[in-house]
Amino acid sequence: MQIYRVGGAVRDRLLGRDVSEVDWVVVGASAEEMLAQGFRPVGSDFPVFLHPESGEEYALARTERKSGTGYGGFVFHASPEVTLEQDLIRRDLTINAIAEDDQGHLIDPYGGQRDLQARLLRHVSPAFAEDPLRVLRVARFLARYAPLGFSIAPETLALMRQLAESGELSALTAERCWKEISRALMEPRPDLFIQALRDCGALHALLPEVDALFGVPQTATHHPEVDTGVHTLMALRQCAHHEQPLGVRWACLLHDVGKGLTPEAEWPHHIAHEHRGVRLVKSINQRYRVPREFAELALLTTELHTHCHRALELKATTLLELLQRFDTFRRPQRFSEFVAACEMDARGRLGLEERPYPQSAYLLQAAAQAREVAVQPLLEQGLQGAELGQAIERERLERLKRFRERHRQQPD
């Protein structure tokens, strides 16, 4: 039995990055031997075991053969006869196909170290094109490692394009897609994840609503970058720069999809694009079974982001309606994330990345003012049920009117 450290742990150590988790491959052993040594089996598709003490994953060396469509369309074979080289060749990228023994010696049969130095994301073998999930994985790796100078090798991009054109992406489950998309959006360059998918044709298959934004013009007065797709990428870039959470990034990715439905005769104006976008966002959320909190924020942001941009002009009644739409008094975090998404939208514009966005502080202060309405004095007046609710709403509206008036009287 020989045990090797493999994959991301080796890759990131060679790049000088922190290693968060370690995967191991075991050569020359059977499942029975692993069990006899106290390893706990996990996974039904192929033999993976948890170390009895560290809990780290140890997988028996295996080969795989394409047997169907999609991510799960493979037959795996694990036995003591499978070599380390046979196990490594089934991996996606050369930089993920480097192994390290217990003496620190590297086993690198497919040029992973060379590609680390060249800063290239390159496939290990033509079998790359058998797994459609790898399209998303490579795009995600680009989003992670582009700040280090990495790019996708042209021949790998060609295989990604081949996969996108084959229709196999449709065989991926909603859960697998969302896992890759959500992880990629949290990388340092989520915009490059979307760009890479577009470059190989996968964005049209996975998120046609977003793909349709490229080439759609907007008024240069508000959007010096003009192209709606480019603006979406710029908003994502701002999300990463300002370290926004996943919900904000998902909302920014989808907030303008309604502009893809604007008739060309109306370009570069997009009247009512917010309402047109709601239907599309609902469809996308359902397609990938997006967790409810992210789905709701994306829907509300799509519908109401122009309200945020016009916050300083809104009447007190409209301000209160906006706060109520977000259930702000019970879920203040969701409203804060909405405001953050709108600020990223405003900053995701060419040359306007550092422009002040006073709407953010204004809306958060307005919400704080409305939240300060005390319920106890109203209860002491004997108010209950609908009467109590109406009284609370009146108090909140009065506070917002006073807040709005004070703000208007402040010098610029």
pLDDT in tens, 274-330: 999 999 999 999 999 999 999 999 999 999 999 999 999 999 999 999 999 999 999
The strand pairing partners of 50, in sequence order, are 40, 57
Q: What is the pLDDT of residue 236?
A: 98
Confirm whether 186 is domain-assigned: no
- Domain tally for the chain? 1
The verdict on residue 3 lying in a domain is yes
- Do the strands 57-60 and 48-50 form a parallel or antiparallel pair, or are they unpaired? antiparallel
- Does residue 327 fall inside a structural domain? no
In a domain, 35, yes or no: yes
pLDDT at position 377 is 75
Domain containing 57 equals: 1-117
Per-residue pLDDT at 20: 81
Whole-prediction pTM: 0.92
pLDDT of residue 73: 47
Query: The domain spanning residue 80 has which CATH number?
Result: 3.30.460.10
Give the pLDDT confidence score for residue 383 in this predicted structure: 72
Give the residue carrying structure tokens 């990228």.
Answer: 93
Please report whether residue 314 resides in a domain: no
pLDDT score of 254: 98
239 and 265 Cβ atoms separated by less than 8 Å: no
What pLDDT score does 13 carry? 95
CA distance 159 to 170: 17
All residue ranges of the chain with pLDDT < 50 are 67, 70-71, 73-74
Residue 62 maps to a domain: yes
**Backbone conformation region of residue 187, classed left if phi is above 0, alpha if psi is from -120 to 50, else beta:** beta
In a domain, residue 312? The reply is: no
d(CA 380, CA 212): 57
Task: Report DSSP letters for 145-167, one per residue.
Answer: HGGGT-EE-HHHHHHHHHHHHHT
Is position 45 within any domain?
yes
pLDDT value, residue 345: 98
